[in-house]
């Protein structure tokens, strides 16, 4: 009976993973996770309905509240900059010496990495650089799937390495060590960054492009 209950607790995670891999809209994936977690939690007797709703409320207020506020402020600031022509000016300055798709991709990677380094938050860096990356993508006819991948990969790469980022601070706190002591063992972020850089250098994968595209 214990084993069956434990397996019930795994089902919501598997459902979310399968839905995400299947390309289901992220909002729907999150709703599936919430509903299934609550259903199987109640079925297994892990909590009551009130515990379930209280946990969701606590997660929103305590864990996501600050991120939501910062995201709103960053989005508002970016929109004011855009309305006043700042984004167009920035795009012109950033791309005036770019002649190839490789350099355009490298510029996007560098922008999200630098922003993540200074904000120590990959979500905020994506909000700030995302619209800029889209314009660069349109100007150089980059594949939107690869641009999205570059944004996600390099934002996570930087976030996983900076010692003042949330991930390393939490890990070092749990282990009771200095965040800098963890850096030599961060094989995954290093490999992820190196692999992404090689993908830009060798233009991999080579996705279909129009005849007007500049290789």
At 189-203, the pLDDT tens digits run 999 999 999 999 998
**41 pLDDT tier (thresholds 50, 70, 90):** confident
Domain boundaries, the chain: 2-46, 85-201
Q: What secondary structure does DSSP assign to 173-214, as a single string?
A: HHHTS-GGGTGGG-HHHHHHHHHHHHHHHTT-S-----TT--
Measured at the CA of 163, the angle between CA 161 and CA 169, to 5 degrees, comes to 110
Measured at the CA of 118, the angle between CA 115 and CA 124, to 5 degrees, comes to 55
Tokens (6 digits) for 20? 């995400």
Q: How far apart are CA 33 and CA 26, in angstroms?
A: 11
**pLDDT top residue among 26 and 57:** 26
Phi-psi region of 149 (alpha: psi -120 to 50; beta: other; left: phi over 0): alpha
Q: What integer is the mean pLDDT of 155-176?
A: 87
Q: What integer is the mean pLDDT of 66-71?
A: 68
Q: What secondary structure does DSSP assign to 2-51, as a single string?
A: HHHHHHHHHHHHHHHHHHHHTT--HHHHHHHHHHHHHHHHHHHTS--HHH
* Residues whose CB falls within 8 Å of the CB of residue 90, separated by 6 or more in sequence, listed in order: 132
Chain centre to alpha carbon of residue 39: 28
Q: What integer is the mean pLDDT of 86-106?
A: 82
Q: How far apart are CA 74 and CA 58, in angstroms?
A: 24
Nearest to 74 by CA among 132, 159, 136, 7: 132
Is pTM beyond 0.75? Reply is no
């Amino acid at each position: 009976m214990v084993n069956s209950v434990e397996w019930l607790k795994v089902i919501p995670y598997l459902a979310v993973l399968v839905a995400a891999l299947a390309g289901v809209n992220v909002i729907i994936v999150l709703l599936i996770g919430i509903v299934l977690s609550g259903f199987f939690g109640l079925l297994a007797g892990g909590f009551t309905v009130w515990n379930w709703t209280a946990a969701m409320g606590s997660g929103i207020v305590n864990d996501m509240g600050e991120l939501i506020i910062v995201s709103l402020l960053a989005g508002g600031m970016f929109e004011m900059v855009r309305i006043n022509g700042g984004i167009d000016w920035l795009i012109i300055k950033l791309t005036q010496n770019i002649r190839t798709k490789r350099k355009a991709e490298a510029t996007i990677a560098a922008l999200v990495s630098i922003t993540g380094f200074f904000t120590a938050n990959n979500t905020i860096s994506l909000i700030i650089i995302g619209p800029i990356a889209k314009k660069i993508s349109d100007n150089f006819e980059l594949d939107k799937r690869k641009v999205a991948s570059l944004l996600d990969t390099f934002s996570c790469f930087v976030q996983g390495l900076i010692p003042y980022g949330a991930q390393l601070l939490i890990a070092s706190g749990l282990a009771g060590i200095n965040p800098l002591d963890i850096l030599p063992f961060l094989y995954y972020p290093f490999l992820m960054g190196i692999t992404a850089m090689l993908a830009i250098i060798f233009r991999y994968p080579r996705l279909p492009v129009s005849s007007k595209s500049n290789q």
